Amino acid sequence: MSETRTCPVCLKTLPDDLQAQFCPYCGATLIETESSSTAIPTEASGGDRDSQVPPGRKGIPWEETSAYPDFIQRLTQTWSQSMLQTGEFFRQMRLETGAGPALLYALIMIIMGQAFNVFWQQFFAHRFTEYFEDFSPFVEHLMAVSGAQQLVLGPLLALLGLFVGTLIYHLSLVIVGGARHGMATTFRVLAYAESTQLLMVIPLLGQFIAMVWSIVIMIIGFKEAHETTMGRSVLAVLLPILFCCALILIMVMLVGGVLMNLNSGDAIQ
């Protein structure tokens, strides 16, 4: 039975099937000693070090307050990198950072997305009342109440969905063998995928585009953050969707069967 190997630099347990000569968590070069199965760091020189040791995770703008002291700069840089440089973004995300900063970022994105969504609903409702003046007082009152409820309840329900989604997708990652790190890593990927909320600024199609784009971010994010394969990441994201589709299909078939039995019974009578 082989002994557990640990990295003496970051003190994390090394995978049993690790073939590389560097720690996958901190990037320290490793060698095996004859007297111990614990890996120790060693120095590499010149070009060998650059070619053999991958660069460590430098962190992402939103979580690196010392490198990005300006709030707006952290926000805009995080949004643009998570949306347009997704792979590099999650490759640089430090795995030891807590979920707090990611939760705050997700909340900001959700609130802004809800604001855009309510704006467009009010806009099109106003255009509707211009053509149907008889319904104008009722529609304006309804949209005012609905808009206020969405701005208050929408972010709360979205945050609840974020936590539930974390449980579902982490379980999916465990099932496909892609969960190399803890649930906090899964949560952070989903939180930064909320960057797509700003696509609500696009009228009518914004929600659909945001949904598709968020799936792409999750697939890439799980691959890089959990350090797994693309196949397992894709399967982990699609598994809950396929499961829900299967449930809907079963429900439709059951309801259809009940209706057919009722119709056949009436026909006999």
The full set of domain ranges for the chain reads: 1-56, 66-249
The pLDDT assigned to 97 comes to: 86
Burial status of residue 106 (CB atoms within 10 A of its CB: 0-12, 13-18, 19 or more): buried
| Whether the model pTM is above 0.85 | no
Q: If we measure between CA atoms, which residue out of 118, 214, 106, 94 comes closest to residue 156?
A: 106
User: Across-strand partners of 237?
Assistant: none
* Residue 12: Cβ within 10 Å count: 14
Instruction: Residue 237: name the closest of 187, 185, 190, 172 by CA.
Output: 172
Helices marked H in 15-70 — which ranges?
46-52
Based on its alpha-carbon atoms, the radius of gyration of the chain, rounded to whole angstroms, reads 25
Q: What is the pLDDT along the chain (269 residues), one digit of tens a residue?
A: 456 777 766 667 777 776 666 676 666 666 554 444 444 444 433 343 333 334 578 889 999 888 888 999 999 999 999 999 999 999 999 988 889 999 999 999 999 999 998 888 878 777 766 666 555 565 555 565 566 677 778 889 999 999 999 999 999 999 999 999 999 999 999 999 999 999 999 988 999 999 999 999 999 999 999 999 999 999 999 999 898 889 899 998 888 778 777 776 655 55
On whether the CB atoms of residues 195 and 86 are closer than 8 A, the answer is: no
CA atoms within 13 Å, Cβ hemisphere of 189: 34
Q: What is the dihedral of CA 70, 182, 23, 232, to 10 degrees?
A: -100
Write down the pLDDT at residue 225. Answer: 94
